[in-house]
Amino acid sequence: MPMHSQVFSQIGEAAHALSSNRSSRYFGGGTLVMRQVNAGNQSFDTIIRSTDPSLKQVQISGDQVIIGASVTMSQVIASRDLDFLKSAASVIGGPAIRNMATVGGNLFARSPYGDFTTALLALEATVALSGGRSDVPIADFLTQRFREPKPLVISVSVPRPRDGNAFRFLKIMRVKPMGVSLMTIAAHLPQSGGRLANPRVAYGSMGDTPIRANAVERALEGKTLDAQGIAPALAVATEGITPRTDSIASEWYRREVAPAHLERLLLGTGG
């Protein structure tokens, strides 16, 4: 099947073309889209891009950082304003992938991919979409991301953690470096008076999309970040979650190892 390419200088034009053609795909960095093209995927025949420079920008707005959808993982790693996200961006593929892979594209990556999105979920980022929807909570976005008509993601807005040490990220791989994720854990762990206040924990590769570990968050609330304080959270590490079975690991295995990796992340002993 011939593949058509449409390039627009304006975001609005690209968004219109994307939403009005069910046989189209947006092209971010193309690391997943081109793989589908090369594999002869017949579900789309048009690739749409926008060269609008605003898609590549990182902006500060109060305590939020606004990251354009076309910002690459390499750009994240190089940006001082995004230093808290460096740990997540640096484990996406190898250098060649990171030079192409975008923040917007990661939002659509299916498990076991989506490591960066797991970090954004723990930080309660919001997603700006074409059509004026500028503050869609990322958790809501993830439940609707493959719906038609397809929206164009313009940017994500992420609150910067006040304490750099409050954000933790761990990707567990069987093959290092550059392996796919067996489990990814991201946590935002603000404290007040030495106790956790509104902790947020997200898992990647444990379901079809990155998901919040709600039972873990409830168990951590008001606790101290030490072995005794986190024990109730470890006991409910996979409560309410049905881990996936794939070529990397079974549901059983993921359930077995989740508490140990969660402990490493919370106590800061995971390397």
Q: Which residues bind ligand FAD (CB under 6 A)?
A: 25-33, 35, 69, 91-93, 97, 100-102, 104-106, 108-109, 113-116, 152-153, 180
> Which residue in the block uniquely carries the two structure tokens 């898609």?
55
119 CB contacts (<8 Å, ≥6 apart)? 85, 87, 88, 167, 169, 186, 202
Nearest residue to 21 via CA among 1, 51, 44? 44
Between strands 136-137 and 58-61, the pairing is: unpaired
Q: For residue 129, what are the CA distances in angstroms to 15, 136, 156, 201?
A: 9, 8, 9, 25
123 by Cβ neighbours in 10 Å (0-12 / 13-18 / 19+) ranks as: buried
**Which residue's CB is nearer to ligand FAD, number 116 or number 169?**
116
CB atoms < 10 A from the CB of 35, how many?
10
Pair 26, 155: CB distance under 8 Å: no
**Which residue's CB is nearer to ligand FAD, number 125 or number 219?**
125
In the β-sheet with 167-173, what is the strand arrangement from edge to edge? 167-173, 181-188, 200-204, 211-212
**Which residue's CB is nearer to ligand FAD, number 30 or number 259?**
30
**Which residue's CB is nearer to ligand FAD, number 196 or number 209?**
209
Report, in Å, the least distance between residue 48 CB and ligand FAD. Answer: 8
Report, in Å, the least distance between residue 40 CB and ligand FAD. Answer: 16
**Which residue's CB is nearer to ligand FAD, number 101 or number 142?**
101
CA angle 250, 252, 258 (to 5 degrees): 100
Report, in Å, the least distance between residue 127 CB and ligand FAD. Answer: 10
Between strands 64-68 and 58-61, the pairing is: antiparallel
HEC states along 143-185?
Answer: HHCCCCCCCCEEEEEEECCCCHHHEEEEEEECCCCCCCEEEEE
Report, in Å, the least distance between residue 18 CB and ligand FAD. Answer: 7
Report, in Å, the least distance between residue 6 CB and ligand FAD. Answer: 13
**Which residue's CB is nearer to ligand FAD, number 145 or number 218?**
145
Q: Which helix (H) or strand (E) holds 25?
A: strand 24-26
Report, in Å, the least distance between residue 49 CB and ligand FAD. Answer: 9
**Which residue's CB is nearer to ligand FAD, number 65 or number 248?**
248
Report, in Å, the least distance between residue 139 CB and ligand FAD. Answer: 18
Question: Cβ-closest residue to ligand FAD?
Answer: 105
